[in-house]
Homo-oligomer: A and B are copies of this chain.
C-alpha cells in the first residue's frame, strides 16, 4: 500500500492505523482535503515563549491546536486522538540536538509536556491546485524548496530567528490567482510574503535551497514565496530547549477538519 491508496480514508481511520503501528511512512496524499499539521511538543516552561513567538509571527506559525500540559489529546482538531502514537514518525531533541526518530513517544511522555499543532502548506497547495495553479514540486515528485531569508521574525522570550520561506515557481499570468487562492487561508500561512526577486529577501542562490529540493524555474515563471512552518522549529532548535519532540519531516498529524474549514471567504 502507498499513501495515495488512503486518499479517501477518514482522518480517524488513518490515525488508528498509524496508532496500531501499521503505517510508519510519510503522510502527503492521505485523507485528501483534510488538514495535516506540524507537531511541536515542549515542556510547559518553554510553551509560553513558543506561543508568544507564534502569536507575534502568525504567517509562519499558524497554531491550530494546543494541548493542556500532560494531556496528549488535541481536543479541537481531533477529539479522541493521541499525539503520542498517532503520527507515523517523530523526532526527539535534547539541547537542540536530534537524538532519536521513534515511531511512537509513549515512553518519552511527561506530565509537563504541551503539544502544539501548526498548519502546513499542504492545505494551501490544495487551494492552488483547485484554482488551476500548478505546483512545481508536486509535478516533480520532490520536496518543496525552502530558504532562510533576511526577514527577521519578531522575537519572543528566548526565541528569535529569520523567517524561512517555501518557494513555488508560478507562471506570470497565474500569480494574482495564486495570491488570491492562498490569501483565503490566513490560518495556514495565507498569501505569499514575497513575489519575484529572491535577493530582495536575502536569498543569494535560488538554485540552492537551505531545506528541501531545488525545482526548475521555467521561462516566464515568477518565484513566489510563502511563510514556512519550518520557521518556528528552526527558531526553537536554535535556542536549544533541554527537551522537545517534533514530527519527522513529511510524517504529519492528520486532523479532522477539512482545508476548506479554514477558509475565511
Contact = CB atoms under 8 A, between A and B. Distances in A.
Interface of A: 44, 47-48, 51-52, 55-56, 63, 66, 68, 76, 154, 156-157, 180, 183-184, 186, 190, 264-265
Contacts of A44: 48
Given A47-B48, A51-B52, A55-B51, A264 B186 contact: yes
A14 B158 CA distance: 33
Contact of A154 (B47, B76, B180, B265): B76
B76 A66 contact: no
27 contacts: A44-B48, A47-B48, A48-B48, A48-B51, A51-B51, A51-B52, A51-B55, A52-B66, A55-B55, A55-B63, A55-B66, A56-B66, A56-B76, A66-B156, A68-B156, A68-B157, A76-B154, A180-B265, A183-B264, A183-B265, A184-B265, A186-B186, A186-B264, A190-B264, A264-B264, A264-B265, A265-B265
Contacts of A157: 68
A76 B183 CA distance: 22
A37 B68 CA distance: 28
A48 B52 CA distance: 9
A154 to B, nearest CB: 7
Contacts of A47: 48
A27 to B, nearest CB: 24
Contacts of A63: 55
Given A51-B55, A55-B55, 17 more contacts: A44-B48, A47-B48, A48-B48, A48-B51, A51-B51, A55-B63, A55-B66, A56-B76, A68-B157, A76-B154, A180-B265, A184-B265, A186-B186, A186-B264, A264-B264, A264-B265, A265-B265
